[in-house]
Structure formats: C-alpha cells, structure tokens
Amino acid sequence: MGDGWETARRRTPGNDWVIVALGHKGEVEKVIVDTLHFKGNYPDSCSIQGAFVKGGTDSQIETQSLFWRELLPSQKLTMHAEHEFAEQVKAIGPITHIRLNVFPDGGVSRLRVLGKVSR
C-alpha cells in the first residue's frame, strides 16, 4: 500500500468511482492514471466521464454523474505503472468535473488531468 486512493476489496457486483472537481473549466487533452506502489491491489481497468456542472448539491452531482459523457473509454491498467492516455481521450468540450471509474476496485496513486483552460 502506498500514498493515493485505495478502495476496499469488492466482493459484490459493480465498481468503485470518485468525482473530482477540476481547478478550472477546460478541455481535456491528456489523462495520466498512476498506479505506482500498488502492486497487488491495482484496478484491472478504468474509464473516465466528464461534465460541465453549473451547480447543485454533492448528492445531485453524484446522481447526475451516472449520465455524464465518456471522456476516456475503458482502458486496461497494470500494477506499479504510469498510464498516459492522449489519443484515447475524446473531445467533449469544456468540463468542470470528472468521474474516475475503477473496475472492479483497487488503488490509484495519482490522477492527472491535463488540457487547456476555457475562459
């Protein structure tokens, strides 16, 4: 186990996820999903959804996130590695929030979302 976000082992159907508000609204060009230090407890795969959120409570944002547009289709992950995705990222316009989905569970050391700030 290392620094980062580690979910509990999942024994039931489904997956784990986290919603992250970006520092500024912008268009995503590259995503880096880092599983460094997670060797036996890394996710098998991940996907990312994104949306431009204008307001709402945390509970409303959580519910709406199920229907956000796909930013990064499902990608295979490996242990203790930095996974860089640029060509796989879909152009969905400016967004303010992302939802990182990990399948079925596991640890992510860092999530980097890179792009251009929208004014």
DSSP character at residue 67:
G
The answer to whether the beta carbons of residues 33 and 86 sit under 8 Å apart is no
DSSP character at residue 66:
G
pTM score, two decimals?
A: 0.93
| pLDDT at residue 5 is higher than 90 | no
**3-class secondary structure for 23-60?**
EEEEEEEEEEEECCCCCCCCCCEEEEEEECCCCCCHHH
Q: What is the pLDDT of residues 22-53, one digit of tens each?
A: 999 999 999 999 999 999 899 999 999 999 99
**Backbone dihedral region for residue 80 (phi beyond 0: left; psi -120 to 50: alpha; all else: beta):** left
pLDDT given at position 2: 58
What is the mean pLDDT of the segment spanning 4-9? 84
pLDDT given at position 50: 98
Question: What CATH number belongs to 14-117?
Answer: 2.60.120.260
Give SS3 for 80.
coil
Give SS3 for 78.
coil
